[in-house]
Structure formats: C-alpha cells, structure tokens
Amino acid sequence: MYSMYEILLQLPIFQGLSYAQLTEIIEKIPFSFSRFTPGQDIHGAGELCDKVMFVLSGTVRQTTPTYGGRIQIVQDFQGPYTLSFYNLFGAETHSISDLKALTLVGLMQVEKVHFLQMLQHNRVMLVNVLNMLSTHAQKQHVAMEFTGQEDPILRLASWLLAFTDRKSATTAVIAQSDVWQSLLRLDETSFQRCVAVLEGRGCVEMEGTILKLIDRYALRRFVGEKTVPKW
C-alpha cells in the first residue's frame, strides 16, 4: 500500500520534491479531501475551474465534446492523476469536460490561490508546471498541423494522438461515420480503409460509432514511420 507521500510524488507537479519539501507544503497549504462513489458526478462541463483536483485512488471517466459537439472523446484516468489543471489559466477557465467517478474515487483538491502560493515558494514545482504547460501547448500545435497531412491515414492517426491523453487507461472516440468523413475530408470507402489499416497495425478497433484506441505506442510508431524524412 502506497503512503500519501508516495502517491503525491508520482504526480508530475510534485516530481523531484524531497519528503521534507512535500511535508512543508502539506503543513502550510489547506488541501481538501473527498470520496466519490461509482457513477457520481465530480465536475461538469461549463463549471468554473478554480481548483486543482488530484485523483489519489480509483478511476475517473472524462467525457469531452469536440468538433462542435459531434465527436465525444471518452477517457478513463486512474489515480494518481491531475485534473482541471489546464483550465486554471488563460481566457477560458470553465471546464469543457464532464468528470464522473467510474469506481470508488479518492480526490484531493487545492484552491487556485493556494496552488499559486505553492508555485511561488517552490522552484521545483514551478519548473514542473512550466514543463507541463509547454508540453500541452506543443500538443495543441500538433493538433493544428494534422489537417495539412496529405495521407488520410496519417491525418486520422495524428488527430487521435493530438486530441487524446497518453496517460489515459482507456480511450474511445464516439462519432458517426459522416462526421469522420467531414473532419478528415474523405468519403465512406476511404474512411473505412483508414480504419482498416490502423486496425491491421493493432492501433485501434472500430465497433459501430466507437473508435477505441488500443495501442498508443503502435500508433506513434506508425506516425513516426510516415513522417520520417526520406533521404
């Protein structure tokens, strides 16, 4: 059984901290703790994100609409994991996702003002957060670039990597076939061929309107092979 310290030190925000530094933070910052039963709502789309939530145990399901609500990205995250972090800052500070407990979930929360205090007084945490923000921004750049790919299979693979999280335990994207066709600029036959190629590589599975991401690393290898310069 992991101790609270061991769980927190697995979170990217706290990585690199010593036990003494973490103890000082816990003693000075008011954290709140709560438990959610399976099926219970944790946070809803449209709600203000004024705190950082840390999943300490259990599994949380995140459902995020995109492409005008025509595509639903459903991802399950197991503790330890950090929620609502990216919505704390910027012009839009309201959640775009619904969060629900899939199992019994233990959650730790800290208010935004106290989170900023932690960053002001701990350089390691500040660097961790800057790295996370930078990585997230680079991922969004990839999302903008995927539409320029000539290969439709590469467009689909790049979209899946850009719009889903590598730390999710399971990932499913729900959309009608005509929505995928519109997004990827394909006809039905070409879309089915794209899916068949990625299924053949062990990357995804398609069941009706549900496209499941089976092996993210296989998908990354596929994209890498397609984008390596040919000398």
Residue 161 to residues 7, 165, 168, 223: CA-CA distances in angstroms? 27, 8, 12, 9
The neighbouring-strand residues paired with 109 are 32, 53
| Whole-prediction pTM | 0.87
First to last CA, the chain: 52
Give the range among 4-13, 69-78, 84-93, 127-136 with minimum mean pLDDT: 84-93
What percentage of residues in the chain have a pLDDT greater than 90? 55
- Token pair 């539409």 is found at 147
pLDDT score, position 129: 87
Average pLDDT, the chain: 88
Output the CA–CA distances (angstroms, integers) from residue 88 to 51, 95, 96, 177, in the order listed.
7, 9, 12, 34
Q: Choose the most confident range, by mean pLDDT, from 23-27, 164-168, 186-190, 210-214.
A: 210-214
Order of strands, sheet of 105-111, starting from the edge strand that comes earlier in the sequence: 32-36, 105-111, 51-57, 81-83
**What's the pLDDT at 174?**
98
Give residue 228's pLDDT.
54
Q: What is the DSSP letter of 209?
A: T
Which domains are assigned to the chain?
A: 4-61+79-137 (2.60.120.10), 149-227 (1.10.10.10)
Q: Can you give the pLDDT at residue 151?
A: 86
Across residues 160-167, what is the average pLDDT?
90
82 close to 24: Cβ distance less than 8 angstroms? no
Q: How far is CA 136 from the centre of its chain?
A: 10
Quote the pLDDT of residue 143: 55
| 64-118 per-position pLDDT tens digit | 999 999 999 999 999 999 887 788 887 788 888 999 999 999 999 999 999 999 9
Q: What percent of the chain has pLDDT over 70?
A: 92
pLDDT at 161 over 80: yes
- pLDDT reading at 196 higher than 90: yes
Please tell me the distance from the alpha carbon of residue 226 to that of residue 219, in angstroms, as a whole number: 11
Q: What pLDDT score was predicted for residue 230? A: 46
Does the pLDDT value for residue 39 go beyond 90? yes
